[in-house]
């Protein structure tokens, strides 16, 4: 099997050391396997994406010595494809319009013992007449994946969902996410749909990303099954932490590759700093 992996940053800030670790880990893995390394720009959130940040991504990665295949896929140019993927789920009755606000969701399950209410919310569609009234009124809504309907559609196969990561085979537990948001009235897709769709379209065989995205695999393998998409192998690497012990964020300007380069650091220095 050919080896294809990718680095898929969002152009909402300058790349930092955490991004460097992820990009270098993926690139080195592709080189070792004599495989392919792809760069993808995940810019579906046009409210936060900036051209200058996208330009800086190319500049920073080239400075690190990375090369990638052209053309680079920019998600904002493929929204119609993600809408079609969502339409497949809608047509099968696997998603529903949820009109509740985040506050209403939190209040509805405030007594639940399992953590984040928004992420673990489960619900159902409104009666058709009430839904029609809410739509006519122009109310905001989110398209949520119904775990109940997904379980019914897949039957025993739902409980047999597994994925491979660095620990071996893991039984997928989509219920960790609840009825997750896949799109909104004014935002036609989500990271979840766009990511699994692009990985399949681009033939990605190995998804290499940070430990902070491990939980996403539990949901993504369900979406891959429902959309009849191939399932990649997952590998999750450690995170780069700041002085406060928390993972780096784009607001940590001192750790950006741009700042490090301007301070005189070399690509070899960056590799040493992130341990690859």
Task: Give me the CATH code for the 79-197+214-228 domain, please.
Answer: 3.90.800.10
pLDDT at 117 over 60: no
Least confident of 9-13, 31-35, 98-102: 98-102
Helix (H), strand (E), coil (C) string for 5-34? EEECCCCCCCCEHHHHHHHHHHHHHHHHCC
pLDDT at 180 over 50: yes
Q: pLDDT (tens digit, 9 = 90+) per residue, 135-162?
A: 999 999 999 999 999 999 999 999 999 9
Fold of 1-71+240-276: Rossmann fold (3.40.50)
Domain-wise residue ranges, the chain: 1-71+240-276, 79-197+214-228
The pLDDT-based confidence of 246 (bands split at 50, 70, 90) is confident
pLDDT at 113 over 60: no
Tally the residues of the chain: 276
pLDDT at 109 over 70: no
Nearest to 66 by CA among 42, 41, 40, 37: 37
CA angle, residues 68, 70, 75, in degrees to nearest 5: 100
Task: Tell me what pLDDT residue 247 has.
Answer: 73
Task: Tell me what pLDDT residue 250 has.
Answer: 63
pLDDT at 112 over 60: no
Average pLDDT score over residue span 74-100? 97
Nearest to 178 by CA among 98, 239, 232: 98
The pLDDT-based confidence of 107 (bands split at 50, 70, 90) is confident
Q: pLDDT (tens digit, 9 = 90+) per residue, 17-47?
A: 999 999 999 999 999 999 999 999 999 998 8
Average pLDDT score over residue span 222-251? 87
Average pLDDT score over residue span 245-253? 68
Per 3-state DSSP, the chain is made up of helix, strand and coil in percentages (nearest 5) of 45, 15, 40
Nearest to 206 by CA among 157, 166, 167: 166
| Contact in structure between 167 and 123 (CB atoms under 8 Å) | no
Tokens 């995205």 correspond to 213
Least confident of 40-54, 201-215, 242-256: 242-256
CA angle, residues 46, 218, 177, in degrees to nearest 5: 70
Least confident of 119-123, 158-162, 184-188, 248-252: 248-252
Task: Tell me what pLDDT residue 118 has.
Answer: 47
What is the overall mean pLDDT for the chain? 92
Nearest to 192 by CA among 174, 208, 170, 210: 174
Please tell me the distance from the alpha carbon of residue 65 to that of residue 238, in angstroms, as a whole number: 22
| Contact in structure between 98 and 141 (CB atoms under 8 Å) | yes
Nearest to 92 by CA among 146, 39, 21, 169: 146
Task: Tell me what pLDDT residue 27 has.
Answer: 98
Task: Answer yes or no: pTM beyond 0.85.
Answer: yes
């Amino acid at each position: 099997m050919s080896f294809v992996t990718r680095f898929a940053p969002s152009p909402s800030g300058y790349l930092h050391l955490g991004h460097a670790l992820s990009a270098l880990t993926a690139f080195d893995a592709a080189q070792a396997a004599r495989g392919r390394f792809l760069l993808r720009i995940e810019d579906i959130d046009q409210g936060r994406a900036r051209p200058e940040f996208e330009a800086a991504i190319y500049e920073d990665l080239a400075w690190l010595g990375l090369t990638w295949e052209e053309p680079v896929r920019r998600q904002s140019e493929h929204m119609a494809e993600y809408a079609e993927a969502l339409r497949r789920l809608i047509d099968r009755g696997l998603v529903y319009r949820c009109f509740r606000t985040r506050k209403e969701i939190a209040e509805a399950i405030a007594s639940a013992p399992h953590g984040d209410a928004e992420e673990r919310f489960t619900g159902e569609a409104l009666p058709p007449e009430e839904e029609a009234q809410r739509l006519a009124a122009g109310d905001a809504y989110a398209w949520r994946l119904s775990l109940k309907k997904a379980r019914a559609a897949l039957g025993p196969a739902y409980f047999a969902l597994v994925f491979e990561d660095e620990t071996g085979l893991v039984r997928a537990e989509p219920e960790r996410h609840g009825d997750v948001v896949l799109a909104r009235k004014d935002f036609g897709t989500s990271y979840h749909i766009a990511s699994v769709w692009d990985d399949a379209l681009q033939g990605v065989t190995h998804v290499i990303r940070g430990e902070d995205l491990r939980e996403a695999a539990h949901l993504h393998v369900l979406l891959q099954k429902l959309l009849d998409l191939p399932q990649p192998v997952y590998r999750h690497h450690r995170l780069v932490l700041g002085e406060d012990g928390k993972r780096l964020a784009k607001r940590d300007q001192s750790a950006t590759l741009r700042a490090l380069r301007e301070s005189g650091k070399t690509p070899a220095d960056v590799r040493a700093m992130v341990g690859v």
